[in-house]
Structures are given as structure tokens and as C-alpha cells.
Amino acid sequence: MRNVVLLTVDTLRKDALGCYGNEKPCSPFIDSIQNHSVRFSSALSAGPYTQAGFPGILTSSYYLDYGYSKDKKFNPNRVLISEPLHDRGIMTAGFHSNAYLCAYFGWNRSWDTFYDSMDTDVTDKVPYVEASVMNRKAATWLSAQKGRSKPFFLWVHYMDVHEPYIPERRYVDMIDASIGLGEDEMFGLFKNVLLKRDTTHKDTVELLRKLYLAKVRKIDDSIREFFGILQEAGVLDETIVIITSDHGDEFGEHGGLSHDGKMYSELVNVPLILFDPTLSGERVCEKVVSTVDVPPTIVRLFGLDPVSRFQGRSLFPIENYSVTGVYGESIEKRGERERGDEKPIYFYRRGDLKIIHHEENDSWELYDLRTDPRELNNIINSSPAAEELKKNLIPRVGRWRR
Amino acid sequence: MAQAKKPKCVYIFQFDEVRYDHLSVYGYHRNQPNIDKLVKDGAAAFKQTIAGSSYTGAATPVLWTGMIGPHTGVRDPFHMIQPTLVQEYIKMLGWATQGCMSQSVAGSGIGMNFGFDNFVEPTDPKAPDTWGDGVEHWRHLGVQVDDRFHAKPVGKYYVKENIDFIKANKKGNFYLYNQYYETHTGSEEYLVRSGRLKKGVMAENSYYDAKIALADSEVIGSVIETLKEVGLYEDALILITGDHGTNLRRDCWPMGDYIYEPLDVGELDNTHSSLYDVDLRIPLIIKYPGMPDQAKGKVIDGQVRSIDFVPTILDILDFPKDKIKDPFDGVSLVPSLENLRGHGKRAYAETVWAAYGMGARQALREENWKYIRYASRMYEEFFDLKKDPLEQNNLIDRLKMHAPRWLQEMREQVNDAYRELDYGVKRREMPEAEKKAVAERLRRLGYTTE
């Protein structure tokens, strides 16, 4: 039986990667493995920020499925991917540095090894443990697996793309050598522009976008390093690697920065790549799929029975994956500060149509992504499909209260 | 207090619904040979051990956090354990931990899984349900029943998991916890049907003694045998206890012709829902290397409490005090093992989940007396346990007359505990500190929450 690795990159926009159409050279390594990969061109996250997106990737459920609690604790009824795997004798390990996914909130269940970095000091400028350290930890763990007959599931999550955007000089130079900012100035942009969601100056927003891309370029190197570690451990040939993200990032597309409670493409479109060393040739799947499909896919790759509480469906065999549309939801927070009285926001996408519902004022948006990929022209009142699409979303609205 | 010789491993066995007075170590006429063997090999037993609740879901967190109900955060099936659990402390020592839970009201739903590397519990919806109509039983209490809630794996207790775990950690440094449901009312039907209990043998009280005998031979016996096999028996801290007692009615009280009538015998009040001694006194048998010689093989008759277990275990393991995150409500029993007496401290117990039996009730108990308040029905009781161990003669009026200040002080104590119920769970220091660390990390990422 083969091993499965889930590599997740926090805040990675789909269109930041070359294989998804970015012309800037941000992802040479990820692009280079496409000839052994299946790439999902329309994968959507179950939510636009970590707390809303990760229940999809690791529990195949939606943020509001088990009610909404302000303390953000992991509802014990959610099934974490580590649980069915651990139960069937697969070694499970998770390494990450996102405080929203730490043991305090309950994300440490059933992992044989779980590192959430909360015991490690971090700084204001790099408020997480970096990918190089995650890679070292994963390497140590992998070397301890040598000689074991059990297959493993390894989850590694990188925070390095997340704000504050303070990339190293050499990565800035790869994107735009004319940027002359020092670390303190970049940190100043974080505090004075990004945290304030200030998009008044187009040039500054563009500058932030470039700094972000420089961080993407760096994470591509980290992923290259990680594949080297798999190779060195002698498991690359027998390991499937899934690469995805919990959400994207906004650079003024809809009047904001960072990732708040919005359902537009820059936040909910994510890369989803499945690297299988036995494949040859680039394969692209254009079906609209969701990150809630990741856990059932992993269970399937290990040849285990489906888990009844998982809401997604296995992406393989892909010809059996019927397109029924995908959902996402979150709390409609605006800005760095959650006021505490925000209401949920939901989306449903089928084909090129995406409908969004704001519980706050009971309003709707509908976009045709084929003719309006930037989601600027709300056709809720003119589209003949509107009523039927609404019907798909209405049963989900308000269920967090029940 | 540091011991000369520290245990290399810990084994905890927690009976469900087993009264202390049905064990031979306390003088019962039917024997549990394996438990008796432990005592013969140097274990000590405490005779007046008071549980924190008469409801498993609330009593279990009390046992394994060293905190009273208002501080565990669990007073009904809907809350999570707040303080650090003993297995989380032991995890800090780098030990391997395994928990075998056979009762889903005290499982991962309330966070009993925290700190266990491996936690097995009856979440399999196909697991046999001992209640027969168990789902209806819980629905009657206003509980929305799902598979996780009522599943109990009767007839397939985790004996193999225990043995495999011990053998995989034969060098020691492990913590193994068993919660054993099959002594609880309702298990017998399956056990008899499947031939694990002989029909008609020790059949009174729903095969109560037969079920205890089965636990002794199949689980406790097999663990002792395995510990001996890997050479850890002499180096193990072994602790046998229960979550709460039970009311076995007129013909079931083994030590006299006692007729127990609860305050109001409703349909649901016929087993453990009161705070009388029948429901609160649990067994406590403990054996570890370095036990004071004078305690070996002794039955100590002095009040101790289930909140004392965690401080005792950590004391015996010489766990670094500065790593203890919460101030325990209990104290170590090592001094009691040295001087063969109770510590004289007051016990608090509560069963405040109103749907469970008779409404919210709280009790204070010392060696000679007990005070019970029934908040849901404006009723109080006071018993002189020396003269009236069966709690039949309510002296509350005399107390009002002759000792109003004492009564006032007790009312204030239960008020305080009750108030914490009113205002929700009181979060303890540990989660606060951890919460701060998390909030700080998030602030740096740009998520200001406060």
C-alpha cells in the first residue's frame, strides 16, 4: 500500500502558480512535477479563511456543520482524517504552525505525532515556524518510519505565504528587483496598510501583491526541498502527494486585503494537485471540486471503507465523480477584527455559476464566471437560473443555529 | 513527597456502578481473587472514598482532573473537560498513553480522550447497545441521541488492546486507563445471552456480583498476568476504583437489613442518581512500589475523595510541581497511607444535570455527617453518619435551631459551587494561559480578536 502526503500551503492563491496561469515565475518546482500529476483546475475551498477552510481539508465537513461556537473549538463529532486512518493502523503525523489548528482547539486528535509549534517562540515579523523547520521535523519523523511495515499519512502545513509579507531579499529580486524596501518598511506596510485594509493607493496594493508572490516563490523552494526529503527517505516512488491550500488572498479585487469573510474567487479558488510518481503526462481535471473531497480521496487512496460522516466524495476514479456543485461558508467578518455579531455568508457553485448569500441582510449575489471571471456584475435579478440555485443554498442557511 | 522507588508504569481500572461494599477486600462474602491478590501483594484500600457525582459523565472528569464538578466544566453530556487531565500530565513525561473507554457519555464527547496516544471507545454504531431500549432511555432525559452517544461495546471489552499495549511498552513508561461499563445495569442481558455469564449463577441484582467477578477475572486478571509476564508488576502503580455506587434496594444491601428509599422514587431514580452514600462511596485500591510498609494490605477507614486521585498519582510519580498547571481541589493521599487515616477534608459532590433523576442536588460530607441540598425543590437534609449511616433520619431542623452558622457556612459553599453553574463553566488557569498564547500568535498573524 502506498503512503499519502498532504501538503497544504496557507493562503496560497490558485493563480499564483505557473501551472494555473501565472506568468510570473513563482513556482518552477510545482510546475515541473505537473507531468506526474493530476491538476484540478476548478477546486474550491470550503471557506475563505483558515477556520472556515480547514474543516473541509481535514474533516470533510463545513465550518458551520456542527453549530458555530465563538471559542472555535473543534467539535468532537467532526471526524478528523487522522481518526479513520489511525483506526486502521496507518501511521499518522501532522506538522504545522497555524494557531487556529493547534491542540488548544482540539485538532490534535488521533495523530501518532502532532506538532503545532505552540511550544516554540515566534517573532512579530515571522509569526510562525518556517517551512525549513517543518521540513526538518518531517524528515526526522520519516527517518524514524524506516523499516516499518505500516503505510503512513503525513500532513505538513506551511504558513510562510501568510502575512506579514516580509520575504527575503533574493525572493523579492526574483519577482521585482526594483523593490527597494527593507524589512521594517515591509512590516510597516503590514501594520499600516494591510491590517487597516487600506486599498486607496493602487501602487501600494500592487506592491503588497509582489511581496506576496515573492513568498510564494520561496514556498516553491520549500516544496522542492520537501520532495528531496521524500527521495532521501526512499519513499518518493511509493508516495502520493496532494498539494492544496485552505484559501487565497485578496489584493483589492473586491475592495479589501488579506482574507476576510468573502466568497469571491481570489479567496475560495485554491490549487489542488495530486502528484503520483507512477503517472506520466500532465492531466487536468476541469470538474468543479471541493477541498471537502480531500479526506474521502485520502481514505480511498489507502483502500479503506468510506467514512459516513465525510461530506465530500473521493476524487478517484474521476470519471465516477458526478458534478453536483460545491459549497462554502464562513462568518462574514470584515477586517482584522471580528466584532462578534457578524452573520454567516454562504456560496454554492455549479459549473460557471456562483451564487452567494449574506445572512446578515438576506441578500444574494450571482455571477457567471465564464463571462465575468472577476465577479463584478451581479446578475441575481436577471438570471433565469437564480431561483433554482437559491434552492440549493437555502437549506444551509441558518442551520448553525440549530 | 518523593518516593525512594518510582513506578515505571500506571494502570487504572475504573468500574462502572460498583459499590465498595461488593468487593471482598472490604469484607464482602463473594471474592474477587485478582483484586484480593493485589492486596495480598501489598495494596492498600480506602473504605470511605467519596465520588464527585453519581452520574458517570460528571464523575469521571472529577476522578481524572483532581477537580470538583464546577471546575471540571462537565456537569451534563454537553460540555468539555476544562482542566488538564492526568494522562496529559503523564504525557509530559514522555510516557505512552492508552485509554480504553466503554461508555460514550464519558468519551471523546467530553474530552476524556485528551492526552491519550490511543483512545478506543464505542463509537462504532454497530456496537451492541446494552440498554435494549437505551436510545429511548436517553431521549426520555431530553437527550438527542446519536450513535456516538449511546454506543457501549458490551461483551467485547478491550482485553486484547490492553495486552498489546503493555507488551509494546514492556520497558515501562506508560499509562493505561480502563473504564469498564459491563458492571453497569443493563449489561447482563447481553452477557448472559452470549454465554459470558452463566444463566442463574449469582443472578440477583441483575447479576451484579457475577459481572464484577467477570471484570476481575477477564480484565484485571489479564492485565496483572501481562504485567508479570513483562516483569513490571512490582514496578507498577495500580489503582482500582469506580465512578459511583448504586442503590440495590431492600434485598441487596449486603451488610445489614437496610432499606433504602430515595427521596422520591421515580422511574429513573431507582439506581444511582442520589447523593446518599450508596451512590457516592466507591472502591479505592492502590498499589505501587515504595508504598509505606504500614499501609500494605490494610483497609484504611477515613474519608478520602475522588478529587485526591490525580494529586496522589502525580505525587507518587514525583511529577515536577512547577509543571502542574491547575491548583487541584484534592490533595495527595500519600500522607494518609503513611498515617493510615483520612485527611479530614470535606468532600463535595453534585449531580446537577436536572434531567438526570431528581433535579439539581449537591452534597457536603465529612467523616461524621452529610449535608444535601436539593436546589430544584427547596429541600435540605442533614445526617449524622455515625449514628445513622443509612441516612434515614433528617436532622436539618435541629441544625437550623442549634447551629445556624454552621448551616449558613455550608449553604454558602454549595451556593458558590452552584453559582458557577449559573454563570457557566469557570475556566481554569491552564486554558486561560493557553488561550493567551493562542491569541498572541493570532494577533501576530493579523487576527486581532480582543
* Residue A339, all three cell numbers: 466584532
- 3-class DSSP state of B242: strand
Question: Which pLDDT tens digit goes with each residue over B331-341?
Answer: 999 999 999 99
* Residue A164, all three cell numbers: 506579514
pLDDT category of residue A66 using cuts at 50, 70 and 90: confident
Sort out which chain A residues have CB atoms less than 8 A from B97's CB and list them: none
* Residue A214, all three cell numbers: 515573492
pLDDT category of residue B76 using cuts at 50, 70 and 90: confident
How far is Cα A313 from Cα A310, in angstroms, rounded to an integer? 8
A186 to A162, A212, A215, B427: CA distances (angstroms): 13, 11, 13, 39
pLDDT at B28 exceeding the cut of 80? yes
Query: In chain A, what are the domains?
Result: 3-319 (3.40.720.10), 343-402 (3.30.1120.10)
pLDDT category of residue B249 using cuts at 50, 70 and 90: low
Top-confidence residue, B78 or A156: A156
A130-139, A373-382, B3-12: lowest mean pLDDT where? B3-12
Do B146 and A77 count as a contact with CB atoms less than 8 A apart? yes
ipTM of the complex: 0.73
Question: Which pLDDT tens digit goes with each residue over A259-284?
Answer: 999 999 999 999 999 999 999 999 99
A232-241, A315-324, B305-314: lowest mean pLDDT where? A315-324
Sort out which chain B residues have CB atoms less than 8 A from A73's CB and list them: 80
- How far, rounded to the nearest angstrom, does the alpha carbon of residue A318 sit from its chain's CA centroid? 21
Sort out which chain A residues have CB atoms less than 8 A from B447's CB and list them: 336, 338
Q: Which residues contact B296 (CB under 8 A, 6 or more apart)?
A: B42, B43, B44
Mean pLDDT of B108-123: 82
A146-155, B161-170, B337-346: lowest mean pLDDT where? A146-155
B321 to B1, B97, B311, B324: CA distances (angstroms): 10, 21, 10, 5
pLDDT at B263 exceeding the cut of 70? no
- How far, rounded to the nearest angstrom, does the alpha carbon of residue B412 sit from its chain's CA centroid? 26
The residue whose grid cell reads 500532513 is A155
Sort out which chain A residues have CB atoms less than 8 A from B105's CB and list them: none
**DSSP letter string over A181-242?**
--HHHHHHHIIIIITTT--S-HHHHHHHHHHHHHHHHHHHHHHHHHHHHHHHTT-GGGEEEE
A371: number of Cβ within 10 Å: 9
- Please give the backbone phi and psi of residue A348, each rounded to the nearest 5 degrees, phi first: -140, 130
Question: Which of B148, B435, B444 is the closest to A77 by Cβ?
Answer: B148
Q: What percent of chain B has pLDDT over 90?
A: 53
Tell me whether strands A283-290 and A326-331 are parallel, antiparallel or unpaired: unpaired
**What is the torsional sign of CA A74, A76, A81, A85?**
positive
Query: Domain coordinates of chain B in residue numbers?
Result: 9-345
Sort out which chain A residues have CB atoms less than 8 A from B437's CB and list them: 104, 118
pLDDT at B127 exceeding the cut of 70? no
Mean pLDDT of B164-170: 96
How far is Cα B105 from Cα A164, in angstroms, rounded to an integer? 44
Question: Which pLDDT tens digit goes with each residue over B273-323?
Answer: 789 998 999 999 999 999 999 999 999 999 999 999 999 999 999 999 888
Sort out which chain A residues have CB atoms less than 8 A from B144's CB and list them: none
pLDDT at A240 exceeding the cut of 60? yes
Sort out which chain B residues have CB atoms less than 8 A from A99's CB and list them: 438, 441-442, 445
- Measure B111 CA to nearest chain A CA, in Å: 8
Half-sphere exposure of A184 (CA within 13 A, CB side): 0
- How far, rounded to the nearest angstrom, does the alpha carbon of residue A36 sit from its chain's CA centroid? 21
pLDDT of residue B252: 35
The residue whose grid cell reads 480547514 is A54
* Residue A84, all three cell numbers: 479513520
- What letters, b where the CB count within 10 A reaches 16 and e where it falls short, cover B156-178? bbbbebbbebbeebeebebbbbb
Mean pLDDT of A47-71: 90
How far is Cα A101 from Cα B115, in angstroms, rounded to an integer? 17
Do A124 and B444 count as a contact with CB atoms less than 8 A apart? yes
pLDDT of residue B42: 96
Answer for the pair A346, A263: CB distance below 8 angstroms, yes or no: yes
Question: Which pLDDT tens digit goes with each residue over B131-143?
Answer: 333 444 444 444 4
pLDDT at B257 exceeding the cut of 70? no
B interface mutation test: which of A110, A114, A124, A159 has the most B CBs within 10 A?
A110
End-to-end Cα separation, chain B, in angstroms: 42
Residue A363's beta-bridge partner residues? A358
Do A104 and B80 count as a contact with CB atoms less than 8 A apart? no
A103-112, A121-130, B88-97: lowest mean pLDDT where? A103-112
Do B445 and A190 count as a contact with CB atoms less than 8 A apart? no
A interface mutation test: which of B104, B114, B445, B448 has the most A CBs within 10 A?
B445
pTM here is 0.55
Sort out which chain A residues have CB atoms less than 8 A from B122's CB and list them: none
pLDDT of residue B448: 64
**Degrees, nearest 5: CA angle B404-B410-B414:** 140
pLDDT at A143 exceeding the cut of 80? yes
**DSSP letter string over A85-130?**
HHHTT-EEEEE---GGGSGGGTTTTT-SEEE--TTS---SSS-S--
Give, to the nearest 10 degrees, the angle between helix A131-145 and helix A202-232: 20
Mean pLDDT for chain B overall: 83
The closest of B172, B155, B225 to B8, measured between CA atoms, is B172
B interface mutation test: which of A336, A339, A341, A342 has the most B CBs within 10 A?
A336
**What is the torsional sign of CA A166, A169, A174, A179?**
positive
Question: Which of B109, B117, B448 is the closest to A76 by Cβ?
Answer: B109
A interface mutation test: which of B164, B447, B450 has the most A CBs within 10 A?
B447
pLDDT of residue B375: 82
Top-confidence residue, B194 or A355: A355
The residue whose grid cell reads 441516612 is B391
Question: Which of B108, B117, B441 is the closest to A99 by Cβ?
Answer: B441
Do A127 and B445 count as a contact with CB atoms less than 8 A apart? yes
pLDDT of residue A264: 98
A188-202, A211-225, B425-439: lowest mean pLDDT where? B425-439
**Degrees, nearest 5: CA angle B302-B304-B310:** 150
Strand order in the sheet with A363-368: A326-331, A344-350, A353-358, A363-368
- Please give the backbone phi and psi of residue B96, each rounded to the nearest 5 degrees, phi first: -80, 145
Do B438 and A162 count as a contact with CB atoms less than 8 A apart? no
Mean pLDDT for chain A overall: 93
A3-7, A63-67, B83-87: lowest mean pLDDT where? A63-67
The residue whose grid cell reads 501483594 is B41
Residue B175's beta-bridge partner residues? B10, B97
The domain B9-345 having CATH identifier 1.10.150.310: the answer here is: no
How far is Cα B68 from Cα B66, in angstroms, rounded to an integer? 7
Do B442 and A100 count as a contact with CB atoms less than 8 A apart? yes
pLDDT of residue B140: 43
Do A104 and B444 count as a contact with CB atoms less than 8 A apart? no
Answer for the pair B49, B241: CB distance below 8 angstroms, yes or no: yes
Which chain A residue's Cα is nearest to B438? A99
Answer for the pair A105, A74: CB distance below 8 angstroms, yes or no: yes
Report helix, strand and coil shares of chain A as percent, to nearest 5.
35, 20, 45
Do B446 and A194 count as a contact with CB atoms less than 8 A apart? yes
pLDDT at B264 exceeding the cut of 70? no
Tell me whether strands A91-95 and A152-158 are parallel, antiparallel or unpaired: parallel
Answer for the pair B188, B199: CB distance below 8 angstroms, yes or no: no
Most confident of A66-75, B28-37, B146-155, B181-190: B28-37
pLDDT of residue B71: 87
* Residue B349, all three cell numbers: 459532590
pLDDT of residue B1: 45
pLDDT of residue B322: 84
pLDDT of residue B431: 53
Residue B188's beta-bridge partner residues? none
Sort out which chain B residues have CB atoms less than 8 A from A106's CB and list them: 111
Question: Which of B118, B148, B438 is the closest to A99 by Cβ?
Answer: B438
What's the 3-state SS for B64-82? HHCCCHHHHCCCCCCCCCC
Dihedral of the alpha carbons of B364, B365, B371, B373, in degrees to the nearest 10? 30
Tell me whether strands B299-305 and B44-50 are parallel, antiparallel or unpaired: parallel
* Residue A93, all three cell numbers: 503525523
The closest of A287, A278, A253, A229 to A95, measured between CA atoms, is A229
Beta strands in B79-198 (DSSP E): 96-100, 118-120, 174-180
